Amino acid sequence: MLAAVVWTFWMAVAITGLAVLALVATVAGYLAKVVKLKYPPHQADR
């Protein structure tokens, strides 16, 4: 029975890590797609 508790704990750690990674990827994708288009980089005058 102890193995089931330990297995469940490590599954929760893995799922939580994946959820955090998905959240970070979503925020990074939003910033890359939306904010970058709203504020384009300034071109240096040549």
pLDDT confidence of residue 38: 81
Start-end of H helices in 1-46: 2-30, 36-38
pLDDT confidence of residue 4: 75
1-46 tens-digit pLDDT:
777 777 888 899 999 999 999 999 999 999 999 888 888 777 765 5
pTM, full prediction: 0.67
